Amino acid sequence: MSTPIDAQRGRAAVETVIVLAGLLERLERRPGRIDADAHRTVVERLRRALAEPDLPADALEAVLGAHPAAAQLYENMNYAQAGLLRSPLDAAVAAERQARELLERVARGAGPR
C-alpha cells in the first residue's frame, strides 16, 4: 500500500522527468548550434531522474513514448541489461545489415561508398 509521501515522491519524480525530457527535445530539435555544456547538463540530470526508483513505470512509458530523445537516453542507460528494447526491430536489423555490408566492402578493399 502506498503512503501519501510515496505518492508525492512519485509525482515529483514524474514531473521532473517530464520537464527534463521536454527540455532535451527542444535542445535537440533547435536549429543551429546548441551549447554543449547545457546539453550535457540536461542529459545528466535527466539520466539521474530516469534512474529514480520512485518513478512509476506507467508514467515512465508515457514520457518515453512522447519524447524520443529521452527514450533513446533511457535505452542507452539500460543497454547492458535489455539491449535495444525501445528501438524498432526493422531499424535495428537494417543498421546491422548496413554495418555488415560496410565491413565486407572494407575487407575486400572497396571502402565505404
Please spell the DSSP secondary structure of 21-83, one letter per residue.
HHHHHHHHHSSS---HHHHHHHHHHHHHHHT-TTS-HHHHHHHHHH-HHHHHHHHHHTHHHHS
Which structural domain, as residue segments, surrounds residue 71?
Answer: 4-82
Residues 110 and 64 in one domain: no
Residues 11 and 64 in one domain: yes
Q: Is residue 62 domain-shared with residue 34, that is, in the same domain?
A: yes
Q: Domain check: are 71 and 102 in the same one?
A: no
In the chain, the number of structural domains is 2
* pLDDT for 17: 94
Rounded average pLDDT per 10-residue block, the chain, 113 residues: 72 92 92 86 95 86 90 80 53 74 83 60
Residues 10 and 65 in one domain: yes
